[in-house]
Amino acid sequence: MCRRKWWCLLVAALMAFAAWAHASASAPPLSPVSSTTSAASAAKRVGLLTIDGAIGPATADYIARGIAYSASEHFQLVILQMDTPGGLDTSMRTVIKAILTSPIPVAVYVAPSGARAASAGTYILYASHVAAMAPGTNIGAATPVEVGIGPQQPTPGREPSPLPAPAADKSRGAEPERKGPDTPMARKQVNDAAAYLRGLAQMRGRNADWAELAVREAVSLSAHDALEQHVIEFVAEDLDSLLAQLDEHSVTVHGHAQRLHTKNAAVVPIESDWRNRFLAAIANPSVALLLMTIGIYGLVFEFMNPGFVAPGVIGAISLLLGLYALQLLPVNYVGLALIMLGLMFMIAEAFLPSFGVLGLGGIVAFVAGALMLIDTALPGFGIPPVLIVTLGVLSALLLAGIARIALATRRRPVTSATAGLPGSLTRIESMEQPGACEGWVRLEGELWKAVSPLPLKPGQMVRVLRRDGLTVRVAPAENNQGG
């Protein structure tokens, strides 16, 4: 009854959480602007979104919803302050689609000094209506990374890419050695990325030739060189300087020219909400691996101890969250299969007499799968080797503990069923005849016929000496001698 009550409470809590999540899912990111702000005063404001780190599903969701919120509040401009090493292709394209379909202009500002807009950040900057950088920042290195396959090795006898090399100039330094893609798939990816970035450059009137170089040769530019080569429009020390330069600047949004009035405009930071922070947390590859490991072990402990409830509930939730996070990430399915196989081997070691073979094979498979799970060449999405080794060591210790318990259990004398009756203390339940040497005792919930060398009486404490068939030989507890 108590267990049913706990299950009902759990289901009710999950239903309440789901209803709250559904009601909050459509809510925009948090912002200090109230719903009563007039359109006239909101039009003087500028929204500020921030990317600091790798671009993943959570970042794309935050940017898309932030732009939609700024448009609904009638802001005149959204500034996307960015410092990123790159990210996932699907997430990058989600951000770019949000920028291209935005009814208000979007300015990308690579800041603060020391920041970069590498790889996916280059594409996002090219898609923006206004591109700006702070001094000491850089942009470029936009060659796509092939997820799940290691770095491409040169193919013997293959000629370099036929793309003509442009004249070297001092803004780019020494011309890098040109190496064309080595496989049909790699060439396909590079050509697609180059055409995509060139199309964005042509749409915004920026340097399309350098954009293609950034994809094919992974070249980069500093802020001032990017300004000279018409990759960006402004170099600004800080946000106030950028707003001052943007004042009276004209931008085209969906074919209509808009003039910005950003001098002394109020900047409204748009923060991520709980939903976005939760998505960012579980979409981390390390967290996803931990959740999946905890989930499988939790379910195993529940199967080993049915009715304990807590391991099963925690395990099921963790496993589902881990699998959801993995479907958001560019996983290598061979690595995922090795992880699952390794965990299954380690679990089987606890039940099968393999003398450590299954356990050792499971640890090797788990470590190999974790190393292969996500391509570490993708910036910000690799799993730290320290975490993989730690999980492997913990799994080995868990196996050693289970093996030690199993060996200790095998050496322990049998105490179950009738083998544990000798030496037990019990009380005479009833007598066949008063003063006789035979009566009935209760042992482990069952009535046994008791025979004693001395007379017995109801309620007397006796000790079991041995069992003879369906009869137990007993003696009064104060006198353990006798036959």
Q: Chunk the chain into consecutive blocks of 10 residues (it has 483) and report each block's average pLDDT, rounded to whole numbers.
A: 52 52 45 44 82 89 94 94 90 94 96 93 96 95 61 36 37 42 77 93 94 92 95 95 93 92 91 80 83 82 76 85 79 84 79 72 85 68 80 80 68 58 82 80 83 85 85 77 41
Coil, helix or strand at residue 425: strand
Which residue from 310, 330, 275, 342 is spatially nearest to 61, judged by alpha carbons?
A: 275
The DSSP 8-state label assigned to residue 374 in this structure reads B
Could you tell me the sign of the dihedral formed by the alpha carbons of 415, 419, 424, 426, in that order? positive
Cβ neighbors of 444 (< 8 A, separation 6 or more) are: 417, 420, 421
Point out which residues pair with 50 in neighbouring strands: 81
Coil, helix or strand at residue 268: strand
CA distance 166 to 169: 9
Q: Tell me whether strands 446-451 and 438-443 are parallel, antiparallel or unpaired.
A: antiparallel
What would the two tokens of residue 296 be? Answer: 């499988």
Is 159 exposed, middle or buried, given 0-12, 13-18 or 19+ CB atoms closer than 10 A?
exposed
The DSSP 8-state label assigned to residue 420 in this structure reads G
Coil, helix or strand at residue 196: helix
What is the reported pLDDT for 36? Answer: 39
Could you tell me the end-to-end alpha-carbon distance of the chain, in angstroms, rounded to an integer?
48
Q: Taking a C-beta distance cutoff of 8 angstroms, is the pair 142, 119 a contact? A: yes
What is the per-residue burial (b if ≥16 Cβ within 10 Å, else e) of 276-291? beebbebbbbbbbbbb
Q: What is the CATH number of domain 39-147+184-273?
A: 3.90.226.10
Q: Cα dist. 40→11, 68, 73 in Å?
A: 47, 18, 10
What is the reported pLDDT for 10? Answer: 54
Q: Where do you find CATH 3.90.226.10 in the chain?
A: 39-147+184-273
What is the reported pLDDT for 209? Answer: 94
Q: Taking a C-beta distance cutoff of 8 angstroms, is the pair 309, 340 a contact? A: no
What is the reported pLDDT for 414? Answer: 55
CATH superfamily of 420-476: Nucleic acid-binding proteins (2.40.50.140)
The DSSP 8-state label assigned to residue 79 in this structure reads E
What is the reported pLDDT for 240? Answer: 93
Tokens 């921030």: give the residue: 50
Q: Taking a C-beta distance cutoff of 8 angstroms, is the pair 291, 325 a contact? A: yes
Tokens 């016929």: give the residue: 449
- 3-state secondary structure labels for all residues of 167-194: CCCCCCCCCCCCCCCCCHHHHHHHHHHH
Point out which residues pair with 259 in neighbouring strands: 250
Question: How many CA atoms lie less than 13 Å away from 139 in the CB half-sphere?
Answer: 30
Q: Where do you find CATH 2.40.50.140 in the chain?
A: 420-476
Q: Say how many residues make up the chain.
A: 483
Q: Cα dist. 341→66, 198, 386 in Å?
A: 41, 44, 21
Cβ neighbors of 95 (< 8 A, separation 6 or more) are: 55, 59, 60, 63, 64, 124, 127
Q: Which helix (H) or strand (E) holds 365?
A: helix 357-373
What is the reported pLDDT for 392? Answer: 82
What would the two tokens of residue 104 be? Answer: 């208000």
Coil, helix or strand at residue 272: coil
Q: What dihedral angle (degrees, nearest 10) is formed by the CA atoms of 80, 83, 87, 92?
A: 20
CA distance 161 to 317: 50
